């Protein structure tokens, strides 16, 4: 199951600018949609938690964990600075990163260098947003 792809799709469907949300609203949105995505796949959850982490590569990083008696599900969410995009490393967990792309940033050169990382460049609430998943 591709949770990060489903989360990316939900951001685009809801047209929600996660960068503008307060930390509390962001955590609520992430947890609610994480559980909803699992439920859409007939996976029912007993516990869910979200843990903030400090990481030098991100402005904000949460690990979201959900579990039932059979399985555990984990996803990481972060807000990257444009300068840190090329340092992004894939890991064992589902990941979704959001980047606010400023108008003066050369987007094409960055996109050409994103080898092996799926991305979506969209305008969400008048903000050029790069979603890496």
Number of domains in the chain: 1
Average pLDDT, the chain: 86
| Confidence at 126, pLDDT banded by 50, 70, 90 | confident
Percent of the chain whose predicted confidence (pLDDT) is above 90: 44
Q: Give residues with Cβ within 8 angstroms of 117, minimum separation 6.
A: 88, 90, 132
What is the spatial distance between Cα 12 and Cα 59, in angstroms, rounded to a whole number?
21
What is the spatial distance between Cα 55 and Cα 84, in angstroms, rounded to a whole number?
12
Q: Please say if the pLDDT value at position 36 is more than 70.
A: yes
Give me the mean pLDDT over the 98-127 stretch: 78
Q: In Å, how far are 11, 29, 86, 105 from 109, measured between CA atoms?
A: 24, 32, 11, 9
* pTM for the full predicted model: 0.83
Residue 35 has which token pair? 């559980």
CA-wise closest residue to 96 among 69, 64, 122, 50: 64
- pLDDT of 74-100, one tens digit each? 999 988 877 777 777 767 678 898 888
Residue 22, domain extent: 3-132
Q: In Å, how far are 75, 86, 94, 117 from 90, measured between CA atoms?
A: 12, 11, 9, 8
> Which residues on neighbouring strands pair with residue 132, listed in sequence order?
97, 119
């Amino acid at each position: 199951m591709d949770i990060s792809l489903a989360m990316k799709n939900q951001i685009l469907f809801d047209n929600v600018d996660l960068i503008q949300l307060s930390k509390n609203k962001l955590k609520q949105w992430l947890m609610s949609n994480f559980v909803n995505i699992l439920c859409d796949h007939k996976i029912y959850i007993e516990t869910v938690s979200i843990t903030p982490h400090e990481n030098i590569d991100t402005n904000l990083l949460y690990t979201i964990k959900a579990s039932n008696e059979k399985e555990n599900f984990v996803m990481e969410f972060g807000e990257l600075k444009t300068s840190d995009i090329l340092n992004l490393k894939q890991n064992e967990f589902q990941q979704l990163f959001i980047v606010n792309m400023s108008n003066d940033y050369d987007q094409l050169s960055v996109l050409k260098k994103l080898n092996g990382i799926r991305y979506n460049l969209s305008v969400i609430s008048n903000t050029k947003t790069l979603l890496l998943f």
